[in-house]
Amino acid sequence: MQVTFFGVRGSTPCHGDSVARYGGNTSCVAVHVPGQGPLFFDLGTGARDLGAGQPQDGSFRGTCLLSHLHWDHTQGLPFFSPLHAEGAELDVYAPAQDDGRTVAEVIGQVIRPPLFPIVVDQLPGKVRFHDTADSEFMIGNVKVMARMVPHVGPTLGYRLEWQGHSVAYLSDHQQPHDGSFSVSEGARELAEGVDLLIHDSQYTSHEFATKNTWGHCTIDYAMWVAEHCHVRTLALFHHDPTRTDAMLDEVRESAVVKGESAGFAVLTAFEGLTVDVG
Ligand SMILES: [Zn+2]
Ligand SMILES: [Zn+2]
């Protein structure tokens, strides 16, 4: 199982010398499993680079597990170039909404004129949306667990298992508003004992103090979840757009030491990073 990061940034893409090493694209992470089509988390702006390496001739077949519908996780959809060819097919699993609308309806109200030149159905490739709640299902040989997790609006985290190896993805995860450390039952089920936990790490404690209802968590909270849920490796992810490369280097240095003493490894996710799981 190979995990490759195409977009690691939260909230909005960013650009410039100060963020060039970790990268400025928003959430998109591919999971490669031998013998089956591409499987990936989220359609942030990183999806453009993921798409560029996929078949462009209409033969593309793949699956996206979408955490939620915020812009930074969906903006890359129309720029995913395999869909620019007739015959391509993309299945998108996404959290069922709580206002009576289907995911396809919500996306259709955002990706449309005058906000965007075309609607999704005008892409030559076919996109199928699957409204998803807490569930388990198979994508090829990969077992998928989906659980609603605390954020702002309906949001899914995912756990993938393949041949005894496991990856969990909790890109946007609301820490308790008072800054304390506890985890929902669903989030714990996703993360418990995984080989690789890809987890929100948007804020410092100082930033969280004024943004404690914005749907995210601190780096320290991500570390606590990793320790509490006995993960082998934590990938700090969904970096705040204000977090420079130099700041992320500092975050990594301190987190690696803390992780070592707590019994797990820590990575600070960057664009182009590939992790072999298992
Ligand atoms: Zn996000
Ligand atoms: Zn979000």
Q: In the chain, how long is the greatest CA-to-CA distance?
A: 53
**What are the distances in angstroms from CA 229 to CA 66, 159, 254, 262, 275?**
23, 13, 20, 12, 20
Residues 221-240 pLDDT 10s: 999 999 999 999 999 999 99
Enumerate residues with CB within 5 Å of ligand 1 (an ion).
10, 72, 172
pTM, two decimals, is 0.98
- Which region holds residue 212: left if phi is over 0, alpha if psi is between -120 and 50, else beta? alpha
Mean pLDDT by 10 residues, the chain (278 residues): 98 98 98 95 98 98 98 98 98 97 97 97 98 98 98 98 98 97 98 98 97 98 98 98 98 98 98 95
Ligand 2 center–CA 70 separation, angstroms? 5
Alpha helices of the chain — where are they, by DSSP H?
Answer: 47-52, 71-74, 103-110, 185-191, 205-208, 219-228, 245-262
Strand 89-95, strand 126-132: pairing: parallel
Superfamily of domain 2-276: Ribonuclease Z/Hydroxyacylglutathione hydrolase-like (3.60.15.10)
Q: Which pLDDT score is estimated for 100?
A: 94
| Nearest ligand atom owner, CA of 169 | 1
Q: Which pLDDT score is estimated for 194?
A: 98
Q: Which pLDDT score is estimated for 278?
A: 79
Q: Which pLDDT score is estimated for 42?
A: 98
Q: Answer for the pair 268, 256: CB distance below 8 angstroms, yes or no.
A: no
Ligand 2 center–CA 164 separation, angstroms? 30
